Chains A and B, each alone.
Chain A
């Protein structure tokens, strides 16, 4: 395995005010489907404190000193990985970074063996990114370390959804009653799935918008069986955007066209790109989000991506605070 290690932290000892974490019940963070509103609010509360830390000259607190956090990425990622590692370092944890997409998989080592190895090395928390839906659930069955899902297949990306919610809350306050529109490749989107759980738990409405071929066919059944009356579906972006408080654009993978899911990229751009004109259909103060990486000029026009309503860069900075909060809650809040 290719291992990169960061040395012991050079943090200035500083007492970090520990908020009460009595409401927190999770050993792992796998998805937001099992989060209560109170738990999500607790994450926000702690993220607020972390945001404060991030404004300091020395952005570091000793809270997780002596803890080892391993990031294990079976799929390429830049921002999520960097964000978790920075978050861990800001909390003075030791971080080990495994680029699993290059090493062990090639050698045929199973995921379970790799996880056991990492556990034996003393990992307190394992942050996992995997191309297969459900991989972190498998992990929890075989190791005692806490698992944070850094994105699994099409299934879930809870830290992303939390930072999305956190960003929206920062600008619009109360999430209840808001209308979020998610536009793009819903079928393959773990970000959309986790946002559905997070937003509806907070009392918001979610409107999903995609070309008909990029909706999962079981979506209507999913909405009814999981009792999600606040989730609606609309293929026409113009109708979907009406009255939106938040517009989240999803990345369109170019291979969707190659596999026949889209007639052409050109048509997609014509029908679904978020332009200034389309954005004007939403509420005047509507926020524009994107989980990244963006395909500017495909799903989103550059004038929107960098316009006054865009909070895309803020999402990235908030990501560090949210991930610090999660690591704190998992590894530092209570002794286990």
Chain B
């Protein structure tokens, strides 16, 4: 069924893919962008709905290159249905799901299952990432070219690094031929040695085993050397340390085909959050399992380096690493709690903090969520992350100044595990449109039907 035309009027249209930043109108027909132009100049459509976007930013739908939808296998944590609804609420129109499901996405049938389930139960576009190795065991490559044929947009054993340098090298050789990125969760498990949080003064104070920054940097350095050797595309997942940023910067200067992502939580929270500390409220010591994540929240210095990396392009994109867990997974001793943060629904609010504080400009932020991840995914699924006429009408509208308070209990995601519960954010997603269909709309927003 064709959805009716939609006219979005009076918003600030921000589309980094075409360098567009202007106030105007946008018309969607047949699920595609039909026209973008000056305000009030759209030719009226007889059956179109109109959305007054005055004061709102209208941009290409956000693309999340890194999330966990948990299905199949961990439906108590999240399903494709609940996860994509949460994504829509967060302004994401396309999400790329990691293959650490059960069974893992290491074969065509599993990838097919995810795609088919997403078509039936999904609210937003779901693009699967295939495993690098069978069973995520790090021993044998998956049938990567067949996974690619089935729709994989890249390969990763996320949650684990591919420990063997030789297997990683072979995976890159294969990936190069397919022109798809190998996405690595960079962690030397031996050095991390069962660590629970960043190794530093907080881990010392709390008596928790630390994960040194070097555990990440060693694998980043190795992967960069292999990317140089193989000329393959490498994507570094969730960069968390200053050292990694520096390594990637140098690699890019040398022309190595590397891209990198940072998460909203690594960009805004430090290791002190594990003690329950927030700015201004540093009295009561706790061990907050909602701040337990891998890679761990690092130091203020690392945060500054990540933000600088965003600004100068060393960090190409922002990805949520949405990792939902059940209450039971988190309501326990810190050492026993699962790693991960439910991130879809807080991403924009959290990141807008960087814009309001002047650390990041709005256009750069939007590009890290739209045109840049689209560039990494490529054109396999049509042109994404743009408002060019003729392209799929994936559009996100957000109010940059709307203030709201995070309430995890109100999350659409099954995972209520967020360190941002109770935080006051300024900047909120108002509507999310996937292929012309409004899949999420804030209560205060009105779409007028003619």
Contacts and interface: CB of A to CB of B under 8 A. Distances in A.
B334 A221 contact: no
Contact of B206 (A110, A138, A155): A155
B212 A217 contact: yes
B3 interface: no
A141 B205 CA distance: 20
Interface residues of B, number: 23
Interface string B286-305: 11000000000000000000
B335 interface: yes
Nearest to A188: B207
Contacts of B333: 111, 130, 132, 134-135, 138
Contact of B204 (A138, A152, A218): A218
Interface in A24-44: 30-31, 33-34
Most buried by A among B206, B212, B328: B206
Interface string A215-241: 011110110111000000000000000
Nearest to B274: A134
B84 to A, nearest CB: 31
B334 A218 contact: no
B335 A153 contact: yes
A70 interface: no
Given A218-B201, A222-B201, A152 B207 contact: yes
B201 A226 contact: yes
Contact of B332 (A34, A112, A137, A222): A112
Given A134-B208, A155-B207, A218 B332 contact: no
Contact of A133 (B199, B208, B328): B208
B204 A221 contact: yes
A50 to B, nearest CB: 28
A262 B287 CA distance: 30
Contacts of B285: 30-31, 33-34, 137
B289 to A, nearest CB: 8
A268 interface: no
B201 A137 contact: no
B287 A137 contact: yes
A132 B287 CA distance: 11
Contacts of B122: none
Contacts of A218: 199-205, 210
Interface string B205-223: 1111110100000000000
A277 to B, nearest CB: 32
Contacts of A141: 286
B201 A225 contact: yes
Interface in B153-206: 199-206
Nearest to B271: A218
B331 interface: yes
Interface in A104-133: 110-112, 130, 132-133
Contacts of A130: 333
A229 to B, nearest CB: 15
Contacts of B381: none
A179 B328 CA distance: 46
B332 A221 contact: no
A154 B208 contact: yes
A200 to B, nearest CB: 13
A275 to B, nearest CB: 30
A225 B299 CA distance: 12
B336 interface: yes
B443 to A, nearest CB: 32
A216 B336 contact: no
Contacts of B210: 216-218
Contact of B207 (A193, A221, A224): A193
Contacts of A221: 200-201, 204
B205 A133 contact: no
Contacts of B212: 217
B291 to A, nearest CB: 12
A225 B301 CA distance: 14
Given A133-B206, A216-B210, A222-B201, A112 B331 contact: yes
A132 B335 contact: yes
A213 to B, nearest CB: 12
A156 interface: yes
Interface string B315-328: 00000000000001
Contacts of B336: 132
A219 B200 CA distance: 8
B276 to A, nearest CB: 9
A155 B201 CA distance: 13
Contact of A110 (B201, B328, B334): B328
Contacts of A34: 285
Interface in A169-202: 190, 193
A226 B205 contact: yes
A31 B206 CA distance: 11
A134 B334 contact: yes
Contacts of B206: 133-134, 155
Contacts of B204: 216-219, 221-222
Most buried by A among B209, B212, B333, B334: B333
A142 to B, nearest CB: 9
Contacts of B209: 154
Nearest to B335: A132
Nearest to A153: B207
A155 B206 CA distance: 6
A164 B133 CA distance: 54
Interface string B221-264: 00000000000000000000000000000000000000000000
B24 to A, nearest CB: 51
B298 to A, nearest CB: 12
- 7 smallest CB-CB distances across A and B, nearest first, come from A155-B207, A134-B287, A221-B201, A154-B207, A218-B204, A132-B333, A133-B207
Given A111-B333, A217-B210, A221-B204, 14 more contacts: A30-B285, A31-B285, A112-B331, A130-B333, A134-B286, A134-B287, A134-B333, A138-B332, A141-B286, A154-B208, A155-B207, A218-B200, A218-B210, A219-B204
Interface of A: 30-31, 33-34, 110-112, 130, 132-135, 137-138, 141, 152-156, 190, 193, 216-219, 221-222, 224-226
6 contacts: A134-B206, A134-B207, A137-B287, A216-B204, A219-B204, A221-B200
